[in-house]
């Protein structure tokens, strides 16, 4: 198979980011920080037929540093490195910009502007919650950031971070109409949306009083994009292909936090899965991403 996949869930781990995680007490989710460099990355791409990669930091990203300006500086350093990698290998790499804590509105808006206007980022990474107050992505304090991302028609990778209570994440964006009120944003939910496509009937039965409200709630969920990182098994794909819009499903590997064996487990099953529409596999591997980023067609 040729190197035809576009990987939208593909992390990189700069040494300075690894140092920041270690000096901050380690990843709060308990994950070990993996080894990473461009040589390791190239081997993964070759093994799994990945031709184009959109790099991103995993959670907690620049928010590992609690001082607002230090987090902003770490995000800037990360984005400049990602842009350098993209510029040196333009046929192979793009990147989702890292941001400081988006509750620090001015710092976040400043980095969004720099990432788009100067570095020409392909999108931004957001995490499912921010701050000790547990602000999920539908929180009203985040409206200025969402408004700016909507103005820029941003592609947004929403990556999970460890929860500290049972509050909703993607549901929070739907319930608070963040999805509906920012229609220009293309929001990608990692790992096939977690449980959202599979348990959508539960929240709709709680939050919706009329059939019209049910339809609106479910439509917002279907307006989201879904990557298949560590989500390539038959039970997941069967539901995802009937729930999501066909052009809203994207390939993802979750390297290097997902080891090669884990990626192979899910990617090999994805490759063998019999989609009702036989063209959907190629769309997920490549075509749908090219619709999000038409410039990748020329790279």
- Taking the chain (299 residues) in consecutive chunks of 10 residues, what is each chunk's mean pLDDT? 86 97 86 93 97 96 96 98 97 97 98 98 96 86 97 97 63 93 97 92 93 95 97 97 97 98 98 96 97 83
Burial of 34 (0-12, 13-18, 19+ CB in 10 A): middle
Reported pTM: 0.95
Indicate the pairing of strand 129-130 with strand 135-136: antiparallel
User: How many degrees, rounded to 5, is the angle at CA 195 between CA 284 and CA 237?
Assistant: 35
The DSSP-derived string for 195-246 is THHHHTHHHHHHH--SHHHHHHHHHHHHTSEEE-TT--SHHHHHHHHHHS-G
pLDDT, residue 166, reads 46
pLDDT, residue 64, reads 95
User: What is 5-298's CATH superfamily?
Assistant: Metal-dependent hydrolases (3.20.20.140)
pLDDT, residue 31, reads 78
């Amino acid at each position: 198979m040729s190197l035809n996949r576009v990987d939208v869930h593909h992390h990189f781990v700069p040494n300075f980011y690894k140092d920041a995680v270690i000096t901050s007490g380690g990843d709060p989710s308990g994950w070990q920080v993996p080894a990473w460099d461009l040589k390791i990355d190239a081997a993964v791409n070759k093994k799994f037929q990945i031709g184009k990669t959109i790099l991103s930091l995993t959670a907690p990203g620049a928010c590992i540093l609690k001082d607002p300006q230090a987090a902003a500086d770490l995000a800037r350093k990360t984005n400049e490195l990602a842009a350098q990698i993209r510029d040196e290998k333009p046929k192979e790499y793009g990147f989702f910009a890292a941001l400081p804590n988006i509750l620090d509105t001015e710092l976040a808006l400043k980095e969004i502007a720099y990432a788009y206007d100067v570095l020409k980022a392909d999108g931004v990474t957001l995490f499912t919650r921010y701050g000790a107050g547990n602000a999920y992505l539908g929180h009203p304090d985040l409206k200025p950031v969402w408004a700016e991302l909507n103005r820029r028609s941003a592609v947004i990778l929403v990556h999970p971070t460890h929860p500290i209570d049972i509050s909703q994440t993607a549901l929070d964006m739907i319930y608070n109409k963040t999805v509906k009120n920012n229609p220009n944003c293309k929001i990608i939910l990692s790992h096939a949306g977690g449980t959202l496509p599979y348990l959508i009937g539960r929240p709709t039965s709680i939050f919706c009083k009329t059939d019209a409200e049910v339809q609106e709630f479910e439509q917002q969920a279907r307006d989201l994009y879904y990557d298949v990182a560590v989500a390539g098994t038959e039970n997941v794909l069967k539901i995802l292909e009937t729930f999501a819009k066909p052009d809203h499903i994207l390939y993802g590997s979750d390297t290097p936090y997902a080891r090669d064996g884990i990626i192979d487990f899910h990617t090999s099953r994805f490759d063998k899965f019999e989609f009702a529409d036989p063209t959907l596999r190629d769309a997920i591997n490549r075509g749908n991403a090219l619709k999000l980023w038409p410039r990748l067609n020329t790279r």
